[in-house]
Amino acid sequence: MKGLTCLSATLLGSLLVSAPGYADPQSDQDEIRTFFQKRFPKVELAGFADGAYAINENARSQWLEIEEFPPYEDAVDEGQEYFETPFANGKSYADCFPNGGIGIKQDYPKFDTDSGEVITIEYAINQCRTSNGEEALPYGQGELAYVSAYMASTSRDNIINVIIPDDERALAAYDAGKRMFYERKGQLNMACATCHISIAGSQLRAEITSPALGHTTHFPAFRFAWDDIGTLQKRYAGCNTQVRAKPFALQSEQYRNLEYFHTYMANGLPLNGPGSRK
Amino acid sequence: MKIKAKMKKDMAVVKVLAKHPMETGLRKDKKTDKVIPAKFIKELVCTHGDKVVFHADFGRAVSKNPYVSFSFAGAQKGDTIAMTWTDNTNETLTVEAPVK
């Protein structure tokens, strides 16, 4: 245990001071892969997309049984209906997205060099709505999450490909996301990295903490804790609350930057959303 | 109820997802402060022809949408099985499925 703490403290330290000025995303990605492939040598790189189910046999077998009748099936069908229903002005989601919105989720989040902000798929869904005279939907769950789930289902098996353009603002957004991931917060004074890098694979009460590598590939996810589909950022808010930190608003700049960094770490892994989780 | 029944060598492997609220009767509606009435499956039975091949007695401790997996001998591809649940309010549902 002590050896692990020393190792993880050193590793965390080295990851934070790895580059002068802004972070170097490619070397961050190399480091995170090296770290997890060393900790879980039996897992193939693509396998990390299964999260905790890649590193625990018992949990994996239960998850595979659940996937016999995937709990997100109905939500995907409902999401498809919402996706295909035109807006009042006659246009539809297909008009806002490349390739009509089919098979594109693996490219999100994107950095919009015009507006200078990170665009997640959920953010883009609402941008599409408001630019076509529709009301924005609440983030995190419900109709918007179902549309995101449908879009994820059409993108299954595509390789995550988040791009950081050669733009200082994009690097700054990535860096802000990375800092948020590694900074301690809340009354319990824990960082995302505490559970999902330092002690990834250990038991935290009744849970196996999942590795940060491949975290984002299966969202939005049907979580039994929610008894419904929810987005990645809904989980961010939940995790922040669990360390007794006040969560940011869903799709706030902070969470979008975090998602940008977080998803970039999963580049090269297959998208396998929507997923089911306990 | 969603049912999958498949032959694996000479055993039929059956997987069932019974969609049911499995309300324990011990929860209160937060808004009205009234107890949400109990509604849970008490019995789950599978028949193959006139033979009972699976029988489970459930109670309020079983979670929403119970999933069950079991196997039985004596079936072949093309046969039909019937799953029936009965709950504490005496509601019952029977769904048939082919053995593939």
Cβ pair A138, A271 in contact under 8 A? no
Q: For residue B4, which residues of chain A lie inside 8 Å, CB to CB? A: 68-69
What's the mean pLDDT in B41-58? Answer: 97
Full residue range of the structural domain in which residue B84 is found: 2-98
pLDDT at residue A6 is higher than 60: no
pLDDT at residue A20 is higher than 80: no
Distances (CA, A) of A33 to A48, A166, A199, A214, A233: 10, 23, 16, 10, 23
pLDDT at residue A17 is higher than 50: no
Nearest CB to B2; choose among A66, A69, A227:
A69
Cβ pair A208, A59 in contact under 8 A? yes
Cβ pair A153, A260 in contact under 8 A? no
pLDDT at residue A193 is higher than 50: yes
Catalytic center residues of A: 239
| A66 lies within 8 A of chain B by CB | yes
CA distance A223 to chain B (A): 14
Average pLDDT score, chain A: 93
Question: Three-class SS of residue A267?
Answer: coil
ipTM above 0.90, yes or no: no
Residue A269 CA to residue A201 CA, distance in Å, equals 19
Query: What's B17's domain CATH number?
Result: 2.60.40.10
Cβ pair B5, B98 in contact under 8 A? yes
pLDDT attached to residue A276: 96
pLDDT at residue B57 is higher than 80: yes
Phi-psi region of B90 (alpha: psi -120 to 50; beta: other; left: phi over 0): left
| pLDDT tens track for A53-109 | 999 999 999 999 999 999 999 999 999 999 999 999 999 999 999 999 999 999 999
Which stretches does DSSP call E strand in A90-188? 110-112, 117-119
Q: Which domains does chain A have, with CATH numbers?
A: 2-69+161-277 (1.10.760.10), 73-154 (1.10.760.10)
The b-or-e profile of B49-85 (16+ CB within 10 A means b, else e) is: eeeebbebebeeebeebbbbeebbeebeeebebebeb
How many domains does the structure of chain B reveal?
1
Is there a contact between B17 and A227 if contact means CB atoms under 8 Å apart? no
CA distance A71 to chain B (A): 10
